[in-house]
């Protein structure tokens, strides 16, 4: 019998759910990617400009896992040149002596290479990795990071990627001379101390002391024209219709493969949490290998959640072996670590077998290639603004929005939040030596607190023809069932319900109630609780009833909404359920479900659960949560005439993974000795215009919330992590003062000399 053209959502007992009918799309155009048949092709290897090598005997770090401390805390012996320990202040480094970074759209050589090799698209590691990250979430079905390399000394605040990492990504595809060049969308970007230090410290690590000193403002006149105009070295690689550029930071011929690796400077947590006001956290020091705070392990844990995914994509795009990390607090370097791609893969993919990560990267490029082909077919010869986001839904789903823009619009957006290096340097030069009265008062409180703390991823791809459908496919039923669920998900997304689910899950995670649950149990609990929470929402009901009607749906009216405008839904849920007892009477259904979960929870440390329930979320997660009021009402911008008139293409991608002939949620348990035949079936669906505009508006809202600093950010620094950062920063300052006094005028001991060096060494 022919399949029905509609499907009904059923309730848990199998009966059709009233009012929930939606169409199942037929004739889906499903393609298949075989990533193992795709090849990265190097370009122009013979003309490679010499790549710097590490100085100061830092190459020792490359061949030993783990951290090398700058100075041994127990014996006070330096493992490397003591000169490296103190970082040259930004105001003393002449950044004008460095070559300016050239974006993909302005790189003449990149465009010429793209044209000569017949490549339609080009980009750099910095402009493509944020978008490619979302294809990792899609292809891996939101696989959580693996923290196997952490000790039991650290208790993770979260087992997921950070909100900033999961947030929407945006880029421009700038059209010129037949090529689309990817540039990062810099609407919310500003220059900061960390980006400047990254540039100066690369020179510090790869130049002898005397050569590096020439970059000091007082000595930069000694730099020769050859040194000032030295060419950067790049790897150029093609895959599909893409030409990819990767700048090469460092090289060692003894490393596997090309011998190339990336240099990364990693600031401590107290600095990263408020980069604009970095001074107040600059006293925080790393003093031990393991532990929740003041440890290399803490920084490694944060890197897994924040930058490992970006690093893995950059390393693969550049055909490199790994990354060299220097840990610092903007004033001092505490240690160095080389992290190979194999090690990064363990954290991201759960295996050191590179095949999984390599093939995922190639499948991601193939998906992006297809999406861009559709976009450029719709808007040929025009510059495009792209927004990409994978949503945390049960069925993997990635949104891809394309908006044509003019040259002027692109320029205005790129410079909207731009702060020049010169402006930042002026700020640094005019830094006051004293803090304002409010900061001083808070610092005094932090000081008192600290005193009582103890020191302790082509043509070879096997694809179905573009006209193919699954009408005669044995998998038709499976695809129909999946797409039915996706249709519902997309509908819910335009109404904001997906964000409600996110908030419920975060509230449960913060309360420690999902720790011992299986994935199935977690999904069942979330389904029931979201249904309960939204069942009586008059705004959501109204949106469902009028989702196909024009005009504004809701408006803010109540005083309570305005009071909670800046509070995340996750926080509101926690407040509404804090302290409730499942034995209490007159509980709302949602509250009782929450209370029952609390009873069922087998958390070994009940005290820890209760503390976590009341703690303030970390800033990166708190700022990304969608507020219920915002998610339940239409975005005003989408209803403005000028916004309605703008051209917009909205699409979403769904996939199915097949490994060794079996369909799986995601590839897992891949070992080097095992067969690994992975294929990705995917379908790209275009969104109806009205729904596309609603979802696009909310994606832009979410991106703004993640990237735009909040007015209370300065205060939040003092409150996050239960207010530990100020105390730890002050504690580090006092420790450094004492250590400096102890070492003043004394001999300097280094690991490679038995006899002490003079104090001025």
Helix (H) or strand (E) holding 126: helix 125-139
- The 3-state DSSP class for residue 596 equals helix
Report yes or no: 52 and 249 within 8 Å, Cβ to Cβ. Answer: yes
The residues, ordered by sequence, that sit 6+ positions from 575 with a Cβ below 8 Å of its Cβ are none
Q: How far is CA 556 from the centre of its chain?
A: 32
Distance CA 127, CA 317 (A): 12
Distance CA 79, CA 57 (A): 10
The pLDDT value given to residue 14: 39
Plot region of 556 (φ>0 → left; ψ -120 to 50 → alpha; else → beta):
beta
- Secondary structure E strands in 177-228: 179-184
Q: Is residue 467 very low, low, confident or very high in pLDDT (cuts 50, 70, 90)?
A: very low
Q: Two tokens at 705?
A: 């919330």
Distance CA 336, CA 325 (A): 6
* DSSP-H helix ranges across 79-124: 108-116
User: 270-318 pLDDT, tens per residue?
Assistant: 999 999 889 999 999 999 999 999 999 999 999 999 999 999 999 999 9
Percent residues over pLDDT 70 in the chain: 67
The residue ranking higher by pLDDT, 446 or 590, is 590
Q: How far is CA 332 from the centre of its chain?
A: 26
Distance CA 683, CA 466 (A): 11
Q: Two tokens at 247?
A: 């700048």
Distance CA 527, CA 252 (A): 52
The residues, ordered by sequence, that sit 6+ positions from 405 with a Cβ below 8 Å of its Cβ are 172, 382, 383, 384, 385, 413
Backbone angles phi, psi at 657, to 5 degrees: -95, 135
Question: How confident is the model over 148-174, as a mean pLDDT?
Answer: 95
The pLDDT value given to residue 82: 96
- Please give the model's pTM, rounded to 2 decimal places: 0.77
Q: Let me know if 669 is exposed, middle or buried by CB neighbors in 10 A (0-12, 13-18, 19+).
A: exposed
Report yes or no: 389 and 401 within 8 Å, Cβ to Cβ. Answer: no
Question: How confident is the model over 204-214, as a mean pLDDT?
Answer: 97
As beta bridge partners, residue 42 has: 237
The pLDDT value given to residue 44: 80
Q: Is residue 645 very low, low, confident or very high in pLDDT (cuts 50, 70, 90)?
A: confident
Winning range, highest mean pLDDT, from 96-110, 483-497, 612-626:
96-110
Flag whether pLDDT at 195 surpasses 50. yes
The pLDDT value given to residue 511: 65
Flag whether pLDDT at 198 surpasses 60. yes
Distance CA 238, CA 260 (A): 18
Winning range, highest mean pLDDT, from 204-213, 451-460, 633-642, 664-673:
204-213
Percent residues over pLDDT 90 in the chain: 56
Q: Let me know if 586 is exposed, middle or buried by CB neighbors in 10 A (0-12, 13-18, 19+).
A: exposed
Question: How confident is the model over 612-624, as a mean pLDDT?
Answer: 37
Helix (H) or strand (E) holding 703: helix 689-707
The pLDDT value given to residue 690: 94
User: 120-143 pLDDT, tens per residue?
Assistant: 999 999 999 999 999 999 999 999
Coarse DSSP helix, strand, coil percentages of the chain, rounded to the nearest 5 percent: 45, 15, 40
Q: Two tokens at 293?
A: 């705070």
Q: Two tokens at 66?
A: 């783990």
Distance CA 305, CA 144 (A): 9
Question: How confident is the model over 498-527, as a mean pLDDT?
Answer: 68
> Length of the chain in residues, anyone?
761
Q: How far is CA 746 from the centre of its chain?
A: 45
Say if strands 169-176 and 322-328 run parallel, antiparallel, or are unpaired. Answer: unpaired
Distance CA 125, CA 315 (A): 9
Q: Let me know if 632 is exposed, middle or buried by CB neighbors in 10 A (0-12, 13-18, 19+).
A: buried
DSSP state of 757: B
Report yes or no: 314 and 246 within 8 Å, Cβ to Cβ. Answer: yes
Flag whether pLDDT at 734 surpasses 50. yes
Please state which of the ranges 109-123, 145-159, 714-728 shows the lowest mean pLDDT.
714-728
Distance CA 477, CA 3 (A): 8
Distance CA 702, CA 132 (A): 18
Report yes or no: 281 and 273 within 8 Å, Cβ to Cβ. Answer: yes
Distance CA 483, CA 488 (A): 8
* DSSP-H helix ranges across 555-625: 559-563, 569-577, 589-600, 606-614, 619-622
DSSP 524-553: HHHHHHHHHHHHT-HHHHHHHHTTTS-S--
The two most distant CA atoms of the chain are separated, in Å, by 92
User: 409-439 pLDDT, tens per residue?
Assistant: 999 888 876 654 456 555 655 543 443 444 4
The pLDDT value given to residue 525: 75
Question: How confident is the model over 427-455, as a mean pLDDT?
Answer: 45
Report yes or no: 353 and 670 within 8 Å, Cβ to Cβ. Answer: yes
Report yes or no: 749 and 739 within 8 Å, Cβ to Cβ. Answer: no
């Amino acid at each position: 019998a022919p399949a029905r053209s509609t499907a009904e959502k059923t309730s848990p007992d199998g009966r059709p759910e009233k009012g929930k009918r939606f169409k199942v799309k037929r004739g889906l155009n499903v393609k298949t990617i075989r990533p193992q048949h795709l090849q990265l092709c190097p370009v122009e290897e013979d003309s490679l400009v010499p790549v710097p090598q590490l100085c100061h005997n830092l190459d020792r770090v490359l061949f030993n896992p783990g951290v090398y401390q700058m100075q041994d805390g127990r014996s006070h012996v330096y493992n490397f040149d003591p000169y490296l320990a103190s970082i040259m202040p930004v105001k003393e480094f002449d950044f004008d002596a460095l070559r300016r970074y050239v974006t993909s759209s302005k790189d003449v050589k990149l465009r010429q290479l793209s044209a000569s090799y017949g490549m339609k698209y080009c980009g750099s590691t910095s402009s493509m990795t944020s978008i490619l990250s979302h294809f990792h979430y899609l292809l891996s079905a939101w696989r959580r990071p693996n923290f196997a390399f952490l000790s039991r000394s650290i208790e993770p605040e979260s087992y997921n990627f950070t909100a900033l990492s999961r947030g929407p990504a945006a880029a421009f595809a700038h059209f010129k001379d037949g090529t689309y060049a990817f540039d990062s969308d810099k609407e919310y970007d500003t220059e900061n101390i960390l980006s400047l230090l990254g540039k100066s410290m690369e020179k510090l690590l790869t130049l002898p002391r005397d050569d590096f000193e020439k970059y000091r403002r007082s000595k930069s006149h000694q730099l020769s024209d050859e040194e000032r105009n030295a060419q950067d070295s790049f790897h150029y690689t093609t895959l599909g219709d893409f030409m990819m550029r990767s700048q090469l930071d460092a090289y060692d011929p003894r490393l596997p493969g090309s011998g190339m690796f990336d240099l990364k400077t990693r600031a401590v947590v107290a600095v990263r949490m408020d980069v604009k006001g970095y001074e107040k956290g600059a006293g925080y020091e790393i003093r031990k290998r393991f532990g929740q705070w003041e440890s290399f392990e803490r920084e490694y844990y944060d890197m897994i959640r924040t930058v490992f995914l970006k690093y893995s994509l950059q390393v693969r795009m550049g055909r490199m072996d790994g990354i060299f990390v220097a840990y610092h607090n903007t004033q001092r370097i505490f240690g160095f670590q080389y992290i190979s791609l194999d090690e990064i893969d363990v954290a991201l993919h759960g295996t050191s077998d590179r095949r999984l990560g390599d093939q995922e990267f190639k499948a991601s490029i193939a998906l992006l290639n297809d999406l861009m082909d559709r976009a450029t077919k719709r808007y040929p010869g025009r510059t495009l603004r792209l927004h990409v986001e994978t949503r945390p839904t049960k069925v993997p789903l990635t949104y891809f929005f394309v908006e044509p823009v003019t040259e002027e619009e692109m320029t205005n957006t790129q410079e909207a939040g731009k702060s020049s290096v010169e402006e930042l340097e002026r700020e640094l030069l005019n830094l006051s030596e004293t803090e304002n009265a409010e900061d001083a008062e808070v610092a005094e409180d932090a000081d008192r607190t600290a005193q009582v703390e103890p020191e302790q991823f082509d043509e070879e791809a096997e694809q179905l023809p573009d006209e193919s459908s699954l009408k005669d496919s044995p998998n038709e039923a499976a695809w129909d069932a999946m797409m039915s669920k996706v249709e519902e998900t997309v509908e819910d997304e335009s109404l904001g319900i997906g964000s409600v689910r996110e908030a419920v899950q975060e509230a449960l995670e913060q309360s420690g109630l999902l720790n011992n649950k299986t994935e199935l149990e977690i999904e069942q609990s979330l389904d029931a609780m979201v249904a309960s929470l939204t069942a009586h929402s008059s705004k959501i009901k109204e949106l469902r009833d009028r989702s196909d009607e024009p005009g504004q749906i809701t408006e803010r009216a109540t005083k309570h909404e305005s009071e909670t405008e800046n509070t995340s839904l996750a926080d509101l849920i926690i407040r509404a359920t804090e302290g409730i007892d499942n034995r209490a009477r007159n509980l709302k259904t949602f509250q009782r479900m929450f209370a029952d979960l609390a009873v069922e929870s087998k958390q070994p440390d009940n005290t820890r659960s209760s503390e976590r329930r009341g703690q303030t979320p970390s800033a990166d997660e708190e700022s990304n949560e969608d507020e219920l009021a915002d998610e339940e009402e239409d975005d005003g911008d989408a209803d403005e005439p000028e916004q309605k008139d703008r051209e917009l293409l909205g699409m979403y991608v769904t996939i199915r993974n097949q490994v060794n002939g079996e369909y799986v949620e995601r590839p897992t348990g891949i070992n080097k000795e095992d067969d690994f035949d992975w294929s990705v079936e995917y379908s790209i669906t275009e969104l109806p215009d009205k729904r596309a505009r609603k979802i696009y508006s909310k994606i832009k809202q979410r991106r703004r919330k993640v990237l735009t600093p909040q007015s209370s950010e300065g205060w939040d620094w003092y409150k996050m992590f239960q207010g530990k950062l100020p105390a730890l920063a002050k504690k580090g300052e006092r420790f450094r003062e004492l250590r400096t006094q102890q070492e003043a005028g004394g001999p300097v001991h280094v690991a490679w000399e038995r006899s002490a060096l003079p104090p001025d060494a």
